Amino acid sequence: MNKAMDLRMGQKNERLKLLSLLLVLFLLSGCGENIKGRLADFKDASLERIKVMLVDVPLIGRWIKLHPKPSSLYKEVEEAILVLKAKGVEKHLPDEFERFEKEWKEAKNLYSERLYLQAEKKLKTLAKEAKDLNEKLDKILSALRSSALQKYQEREAELTSRLSTLNEEDKLKLKVYLFYLKSLIEQGRFEEFERELKKDPFRKG
């Protein structure tokens, strides 16, 4: 009996929510043009939530058509995030990427709730922001690479000027050391490069 009462209460609450949304939409329809413009997104979001609530209702649901699922856009943003992380966005642009991830989480929630119109709008914004972040990140990495190459060339010139005074073992150590420094730059491991740059390539052990 309690279960039946709980079920009726749940159904009543859902109907009240639906009626509230319908009332809001009715009131919005009578607003002036300026207010309509500012509240257009809210109106669309409310209407979409009503559709999602009704789409699984027997008899009614078959007449409800949800906004198309923006699956390709979702995948585009998802792949862009993987690229950004691979480039070290969390290290180089931590605050901006943290804000971006919050928006991404909201978009995923909307998508999972089948609120595809709202999800699509947010995903379009995220796709543009991901592109902007990628461009900004590329500039940072380019600057770091240029700086590292300059330091490498200076270190290389300094060490190779001593070649004539080195024995064969030290010459080999120098060759390996310079090769390792160059590989760190190519891999974008700039912090590690800075540490290795300070080391003595001829140290024992």
From residue 147, give the alpha-carbon distance in Å to each of 8, 142, 157, 170, 174: 69, 9, 16, 27, 21
Give residue 7's pLDDT. 46
Q: Which residues contact 60 (CB under 8 A, 6 or more apart)?
A: 54
Give residue 142's pLDDT. 96
From residue 37, give the alpha-carbon distance in Å to each of 98, 109, 170: 31, 26, 74
CB contact at 8 A, 73 and 108: no
Taking the model in full, what pTM does it have? 0.72
Walk along the chain (205 residues) and give the pLDDT tens digit of each residue. Answer: 555 555 455 555 665 555 555 555 555 555 555 555 556 777 778 888 888 888 888 888 788 898 999 999 999 999 999 999 999 999 999 999 999 999 999 999 999 999 999 999 999 999 999 999 999 999 999 999 999 999 999 999 999 998 888 899 999 999 999 999 999 999 999 999 999 999 988 876 5
CB contact at 8 A, 87 and 137: yes
Give residue 100's pLDDT. 97
Positive or negative, the Cα torsion across 95, 96, 97, 103? Answer: positive
CA dist 171 and 162 (Å) reads 10
Give residue 6's pLDDT. 52
Phi first, then psi: what are they for 141, rounded to 5°? -65, -35
Give residue 58's pLDDT. 84
Q: Which residues contact 157 (CB under 8 A, 6 or more apart)?
A: none
DSSP 204: -
CB contact at 8 A, 24 and 49: no
Cβ count within 10 A of residue 185: 19
Using N-to-C axis directions, what is the helix angle for 71-86 and 116-160, rounded to 10°? 20
CA dist 171 and 164 (Å) reads 9
